[in-house]
Structure 1
Amino acid sequence: PLLSGVRGKLYQESYTADVPVGNLSPEWAERLELSEDVVVGIGAFDDHMGAIGAGIEPYTLVKIIGTSSCDVLLVPKEDLGDRPVRGICGQVDGSVMPNMIGLEAGQSSFGDVYEWFKSLLYWPVGNILQESRLINNRVKDELSAEISERIVPALTDAAARVPIDESGVIALDWLNGRRTPDANQLLKGALTGLSLGSDAPRIFRALVEATAFGAKKINDRFESESIPIKQVIAAGGVPTKSSFVAQVIADVLGQPVKVCKSEHVCALGAGICAATAAGIYRTIEEAQQYMKSGFAKVYTPIQENAEKYKALYKRYGELGAFVEREIMRNR
C-alpha cells in the first residue's frame, strides 16, 4: 500500500551510460567554471563504471575490492536471453554496457574483515596506553598512530610466512552477512580450529583465506549457472595495496588475477562513458581501447598452493553450511 501509485510516476524507458541527456546548466557551468557546451551523459552505478574503466568485456569478471567487494560480469544478450541467474545481486540489460546483460555479485565485507581484526588487536593501545603515566600525551599519540599504521603490514608479512595448511584455523567471512551467493544478511562470521598456538598472524591468514574462499563461492555460482569466467580483473584498495591478498585470491580461484594500474577505475569508467556520450568515440568499447586502465601486475596461481587450498575450501564450505543451519534454525 505504501508504494501505491509509485510505478505510474516512474519512467517507462531506460537508457545506457553512453547516451547524452543534455548539456551543463548555466548554474553548474558557472559553479564549475566550465562551458555550457559540456555534454552530460546518463549516470550509472559506481562499480559498473569501475568495471568499464578496468576493461571489462564479455565473460570477464571485474572485482572492485575495498571494504566490501562488488563483482561485475558481462554476458551478451543473445547468450543469456531471459534466463535468470540464481542467487546473485543484480541482472540488468544495459546496466554496464549497451547490448549486454550486466550481472552483479559481491561480498558484504572484505577489507572490513581485516579492519575488524586490526581494531581487535589495537584495543589495548587505544585504551590502556592512553591511561599510562609513563609517557606524555605527544608520545602516546605518535606511538598510537604508528602502531595503528603498522598492524596490518606487520600481520601480512608474518602471515605470508605461515604454511597454508599448518595452523588448522578456518574462518568464515560473513562478519557483515552474506551478499552472494544467496544473500542472507542474518548470517555471522566464525573462527574454528583455534588452539593455544593460534597467534595473530595465523588468525589473520585464515581471515584472508576466508575472503578468498568467499570470492570463489561467487565464481562457482556463475559456473554452476553455465556462465564461464574467462578472465578475472581486480581493482580497488585491497588488491592494489596487498600482493599477499591478491596472490591468495589467485591461488584459491585457480585463475590469474590481473590487478589494475589505475587506482581510480570508477572515475576512469565515468570518463570513458562521458567521452562516448560526447561523441569523441563511437562506442564504449572503442573508448576503452584508448582509455582503460591496463594492469600493474598479473598474479598467476601457484599450483602447489592451489592444490592445498582445495581441501581448505571444502572445509570452509562445510563450516558455512553448519553456521547457516544453526543460525536459521534458532530464529
Structure 2
Amino acid sequence: MHNSIDWTLVGKIVANEATDAERQQFDDWLSAHPEQKPLLDNLRRFWLTADAKLPNDPLDMARAFERLQQRIENEKVDESPAGSRWRVRRWVGWAAAASVAIAVGVWSWLQIQTPAPQAAALVEQINQKGTRSQIRLADGSVVWLNADSHLRFPKAFTGNLREVTLEGEAFFKVTPNPKQPFVVRLATGSVRVLGTSFNIRAYPGDTTVETSVVTGRVAFIAKPAATEQKTGSKSATTQKDTLLLTPNTKAIQSLTRHSVATEPTVAVNQIAWTESKLVFRNTPMGEVAKTLERWYGTPVTLERESLRHCPLTGTFQNQSLREVMNLIAMTNRFQYELTPSQVTIKGPGCDGQ
C-alpha cells in the first residue's frame, strides 16, 4: 500500500527544499491517494517537532529516527484504545519505515544542496585611484599594492598552494616555502614563485600584462588564448610553455597579438613606484596619462589622438600633479590645462615621427 509513496519527494517537502513543480506533483499525488494523508501528516508532525537538529551523518540520522520511532510508538500506544493495538503497531511499523525513508530522502537531498566546505575566508584590499597600500600576508610575505588595484587573499594559507588574485599592479616580496608554492592568479594567466620578489602590472583594459623579476626566479604561465602566435626576435611561448624569469628580466604578454615574450629590464625602475617614484623611459604619452590618473586620482585626457604615441622620459618623486605637469611642459613638446576636475594634455602630437 505504502510502496507507492515517493519518499525522496516527501523528504524534499518536509525539508522545505522542493521546487514549485515538485510541490504541485506532491499535491496531485496526495489528491489521488487521500488514504495516505493521515500517515504523512503524522510523520511531518513528528519530524518537525523532533528535538535534535538535522544530523550531518546518515548513521546519526538513523539513530535520530530510532528515537523518533520510539516517540511515535509511545505516544500512539498510550493513546490507543484497547483492542486496536495491532492496528497501531502496524501503523507504527509503516511510520518507522517511512521515517527512515524521509530521513534518507532529506539527508540525501541536503547533501546534494549543501555547498562543499569553504576555503579559508578571503580578504579583499581595493585601492582606489590615488591610493597605495602595503599588506602583510599570513605567511609573512609583503605586498605593495598600487593605485587602482585589487588584491584578494586568504586570512590563512591552507592546502598545497599559497594563492592570491590580482587586478592592477603589485610588488610581491614572498617568504620562501618550497612545500607551499606561492601563486598569483591573473585574468590572463598566473605567476608561480620560485624565488622571492617580483612586480606584476595587470590592469584591466590595458593591452599588455608585465611581470618583472627583482630577485630569485618566477614562472609565468599564460592562459592558452594568449599564447597562440610567435613573435619575431623575442622568444614567445606556445600553449604548454612556461616562461622562467630571472632577475632584471620581464615577461610581456600582449593581449592584442596573443603572444608572450621576454626582454631585459631594469628591475629597480619597475618597482620605483613603491618608493613614491614615477619613472618613464620612452613611455608613450597614452600610458603616461593612465599612470598619472591612477597615481593622483584625477582624470587625465589627451587633446588629440596623435599625442598618444609621443614618448616621455623622466623621473618624478613626491611631487604634486601640477609640479609634474610643469616639468613635462618644460620639454616644449607638451602643454597642459589643469582644472579641479581634470588634466588635459595638449600639443601638436607625434604623427610622422
Max radius of gyration: which structure? 2
TM-score by length of 2: 0.20
Q: Which has the higher strand share?
A: 2
Q: So what's the TM-score if we normalise by structure 1?
A: 0.21
Q: Relative contact order, CA 8 A, sep 6+: which one is greater?
A: 1
